[in-house]
Amino acid sequence: MNADMMTFLKELKSRLSYEKPATVVMGNEAADLDSMVSAVSYAWYLYLIDNQLNPFPYINIPRADFKLRTEAVYLFEKAGIDIESLLFTDDLDLVKLKKAGNLNLILVDHNKLSANQADFKENITAILDHHSDEELYPSSAVTDIRAVGSAVTLVAEAFLKERKGAVDISLGTLLLGTILLDTVNLDPEAGRVTEADSKAAAEIIKVSSLDSEKLFEKLQFEKFNVSSLGSYDLLRKDYKEWKLGSVYLGIGSVLLPIEDWVSKDPEIANECKRYLKEKSLDVLLAMNAFTIPEFTRQLVVYTPDSGLRKSLVAFLESSELGLERLIVNSAASECIFYNQKNLGISRKKLQPLLKAFFES
């Protein structure tokens, strides 16, 4: 067939119709790089194999969230893909397609649908995944579920076996970059890589002449490079919330020193206020962590309730976190900033401490 991946992707939106059967290739709802690249590349593979399948890659998040995955922003751009052409949850209505009787669903990088997508179970026709098999799909579904380091390895194998010639610089960049990131540069010590990942990566390098060391280093850097994000996006990039006692608490993990954040955004207190209001929180915390020049943890506490602030601050300052007040910007007086000397207290460990405090 006379087609290339860019043309295939550019035509997705114009080809999209609810009136005819479509094969939707969907990654998991966390939409990490593995899920996104698996969806895009496997849909392209299916198109090459049998375009009657009418395949569409589906990125399982709103378009506005794509920029938070900074490593994906880098890799797709490096591969020459226009993000505008891709279909996100705001572009394709799966419920509508299902109602029209035209949804054939292929799951990549997961084999269990999220709770709000569980109704699509009967539409699943195939699965390509590397998570443990939950066996929740229809018995007719064709599955390739193997414990490899990256779901993309399974897609790469399919290309290398059936359509090797399609692995050009662009597709090779997508596939190789994802495998490298998922397996920590194929390092056995990281405990992620399998023989299948190494074999697929080596073959891609051979046919595409890509520099894998450079690609891995750049991706690893971009994954933690949040310099393009404003306060609002920094807070929501890696965010969790809980109801503890009667208190609604949200904690964002922020990969940036507080000093850099405040100089980037002197209005940080206003942005915390906006975020807290939008999420209907009582307390918003940011746990800052970064590795340059050395691993450091910091904490930001924000709540507009002065009574709550006083008791929370007293609790935190007497806790095992080892907090030291940090004076960075007097204009943001509603935010309280700390260096956290106890590097062992992550969000996972802080949450139960706060649960005990708010429930007492």
**Minimum distance between the CB of residue 33 and Mn ion, rounded to whole angstroms?**
9
The residue (of 143 and 339) whose beta carbon lies closer to Mn ion is 143
Size of the site for Mn ion (CB under 5 A): 3
The residue (of 151 and 256) whose beta carbon lies closer to Mn ion is 151
**Minimum distance between the CB of residue 150 and Mn ion, rounded to whole angstroms?**
6
**Minimum distance between the CB of residue 155 and Mn ion, rounded to whole angstroms?**
11
- The alpha carbon dihedral of 199, 203, 204, 205 has a sign of positive
The residue (of 59 and 281) whose beta carbon lies closer to Mn ion is 59
Which residue stretch of 5-13, 33-41, 211-219, 240-248 sits at the interface with Mn ion (rule: CB under 5 A)? 33-41
**Minimum distance between the CB of residue 195 and Mn ion, rounded to whole angstroms?**
17
Q: DSSP per residue over 232-271, as a string?
A: HHHHHHTEEEEEETTEEEEEEEE-S-HHHHHHH-TTHHHH
**Minimum distance between the CB of residue 134 and Mn ion, rounded to whole angstroms?**
15
The residue (of 71 and 109) whose beta carbon lies closer to Mn ion is 109
**Minimum distance between the CB of residue 131 and Mn ion, rounded to whole angstroms?**
7
Q: 55 CB contacts (<8 Å, ≥6 apart)?
A: 22, 23, 24, 25, 43, 44, 46, 47, 106
**Minimum distance between the CB of residue 186 and Mn ion, rounded to whole angstroms?**
15
Which residue stretch of 26-34, 66-74, 237-245, 327-335 sits at the interface with Mn ion (rule: CB under 5 A)? 26-34
Determine which residue in the list 26, 27, 31, 34 makes contact with Mn ion, applying CB under 5 A: 34
Which residue stretch of 50-58, 82-90, 147-155, 243-251 sits at the interface with Mn ion (rule: CB under 5 A)? 147-155
Residues 141-150, buried b or exposed e (16+ Cβ, 10 A)? beebbeebbb
The residue (of 34 and 271) whose beta carbon lies closer to Mn ion is 34
Determine which residue in the list 68, 103, 106, 151 makes contact with Mn ion, applying CB under 5 A: 151
338-341 CB contacts, 8 Å cutoff, 24+ apart: 338/298, 338/299, 338/300, 338/301, 339/296, 339/297, 339/298, 340/287, 340/297, 340/298, 340/299
Query: What is the C-alpha separation between 353 and 342, in angstroms, rounded?
Result: 14
The residue (of 34 and 71) whose beta carbon lies closer to Mn ion is 34
Q: Is 139 exposed, middle or buried (0-12, 13-18, 19+ CB in 10 A)?
A: exposed
Which of the residues 79 through 118 are near Mn ion (CB under 5 A)? 109
Give the phi and the psi of residue 229 in degrees, each rounded to 5: -100, 140
CA-to-CA dists, residue 134 to 108, 138, 207, 208, angstroms? 14, 12, 35, 36
Residue 12: closest CA among 28, 25, 2: 25
The residue (of 71 and 271) whose beta carbon lies closer to Mn ion is 71
Query: What is the C-alpha separation between 58 and 76, in angstroms, rounded?
Result: 15
- Residue 37 near Mn ion by CB under 5 A: no
* CB 108, CB 42: distance < 8 Å: yes
Three-state SS for 137?
coil
Which of the residues 218 through 257 are near Mn ion (CB under 5 A)? none
Which residue stretch of 29-37, 171-179, 197-205, 287-295 sits at the interface with Mn ion (rule: CB under 5 A)? 29-37
**Minimum distance between the CB of residue 147 and Mn ion, rounded to whole angstroms?**
11
The residue (of 117 and 178) whose beta carbon lies closer to Mn ion is 178
Give the phi and the psi of residue 299 in degrees, each rounded to 5: -140, 140
The residue (of 153 and 231) whose beta carbon lies closer to Mn ion is 153
**Minimum distance between the CB of residue 92 and Mn ion, rounded to whole angstroms?**
22
Residues in the site for Mn ion, rule: CB under 5 A? 34, 109, 151
